[in-house]
Amino acid sequence: GAATADIFAANGASLILNGRRKERLIEKQRQLQIKYPKQKFEIAVFDVQSLNEIEDYFKKHNPQVDVLVNNAGLAKGVD
């Protein structure tokens, strides 16, 4: 996820960084903001396994999303 964010940011994209660990998101946001100060980097702290959390975020923020990269884990051992 972090490497994907770097690639999109390097190509001019503004990003919504999502994950469950707020501290990690804040740190990645800070790194990107320093490297690409003209772009916008927001964080969205929620678990993509929770449909309620996803719906709540989108209802409250109504973000413009052009591309979604779903890089959630927990696929280990799944056929």
Residues 6+ apart with CB under 8 A from 10: 36
User: What is the mean pLDDT of the segment spanning 45-60?
Assistant: 92
User: Residue 21: what pLDDT?
Assistant: 93
pLDDT at 72 over 80: no
Which of the four pLDDT bands, split at 50, 70 and 90, describes residue 79?
low
User: What pLDDT shows up at residue 75?
Assistant: 59
Using CB atoms within 10 A of its CB, is residue 59 exposed (0-12), middle (13-18) or buried (19+)?
Answer: exposed
pTM of the model: 0.81
Between CA 10 and CA 24 the distance in angstroms is 20
Distance (Å, whole) CA 32 – CA 15:
10
